Amino acid sequence: MTTTDSADVLIVGGGIIGCLTAYYLSQRGLSAIVIEADGIASGASGTSAGWLTPYSHKNDRAMLALSPTTLRLHAELAETLPALTGIDHGYQPAPYLRCAITEDGVAELLAFQSQRASESVVMEWLSGEEARAMSPWITANIIGALRSDNEPTVDSYRLTMSAFQAAEMGGARMIFGRVVGLISPGDGVATGVRMENGSEAHGDAVVLAMGPWSGAAAKWLDHPVPVTPQRGELVYLAAPGEGDGPELDIGLNLVEDGSSILRKRLSDTIVGVSKEYVGFDRSTTIGARDELLINAARLSRRVEMASISGQTACLRPISADGRAYVGLVPGWDAVYLATGHSGEGIHYGPVTADAIAGLISDGICEHDIAPLSPTRTSTTNV
């Protein structure tokens, strides 16, 4: 016998975007079922660095335009979600320094600063001496740095869990299983989804927020979804022992090789991050660990003295053109894509989820997501 379930909206994917979409829908009085193949936040949402920045992948202008809004929404969630669920998801604004050790690096940072200024994002230029004075962790011969004060950090797993718990309080539910297709009578109408185990779920709208696995939906939609996985590995450093000096209290980046060192309020210091194209392999590797640590040591020799407390790997959803796909799928009524955010899914999660929830509940969206429309996949090659 086929098991069926139903809600106003079906959301395929239990990561940050799926769970926040359920939360924002619940705030609008709509019921949602989140369908997850593995476990909540079991993909990138559970093991990402949790750095709220639009600058970790590709500085796409359409995405950058949404950054102030998503940062505002993150600040709101930092107040509302813990009050609802009791879960502290580690939201923390803190200074972040992008450092240069070569003249070429300085030139790159100055160009970066100029571009950000054109977007009304002010980043302060520091001399090498001023940068080193900010943190004893900086041991490299820094000759210049940019200071940013608007790139907070969060614990991405806790944020995702808190978002779903808040959605659950509003009537959302989660079921587990792998979706293998849409239920459709034709004419671009979807009335539900079919599961691998033979069960079905029915709803008036379907949101496909499947991260790096979104490409599987192309055959259901008869429309391309050019998203591929990129593995990103992180190394965690234990807190310094007694007499080993202070803990890191700011974020650091070396522009010459992109290595980053992040101190987060609820976790050990993070060294990141690799960018590897290895299909759906989520294993950690010694090679990535060593490369991350060697590069980070160019910025801070304290990395060489620290004890490794862990290593993780996740898969990021990389779109064909570096821009997320958010909105109605061409040729379908009430089937939406919300995927392809590269390494910035946590950052753009709130604005994406709020946009999708607005489209479903009111048929309008207060955010300018038109450039993110999935219609462009018709002419985009993977």
Domains of the chain (ranges, CATH numbers): 4-87+155-225+321-379 (3.50.50.60), 96-148+229-319 (3.30.9.10)
Half-sphere exposure for 147 (CA within 13 Å, toward CB): 16
> 3-state DSSP call for residue 101?
coil
Res 379: pLDDT:
56
Res 245: pLDDT:
78
Sign of the CA dihedral with 50 first, then 55, 59, and 63 last: positive
- Tokens at residue 328, please? 């109605």
Res 382: pLDDT:
41
Res 140: pLDDT:
86
- Tokens at residue 286, please? 């010694």
CA distance 47 to 156: 7
Res 381: pLDDT:
45
Residue 312 parent element (H or E): strand 308-319
Res 344: pLDDT:
95
Specify the residue for token string 């980046």: 253
Q: How many helices (H) and strands (E) does the chain have?
A: 11, 18
Res 377: pLDDT:
77
Instruction: Identify the segments of the chain with pLDDT beneath 70.
Output: 1-2, 378-382
CA distance 117 to 150: 14
Q: Rounded to 5 degrees, what angle do the CA atoms 88, 231, 240 make?
A: 50
Of residues 92, 97, 101, the one with CA closest to residue 148: 97
Q: What is the pLDDT of residues 85-130, one digit of tens each?
A: 999 999 999 999 999 999 999 999 999 999 999 989 999 999 999 9
Res 4: pLDDT:
82
Q: How far is CA 105 from CA 4, 99, 100, in A?
A: 58, 8, 5
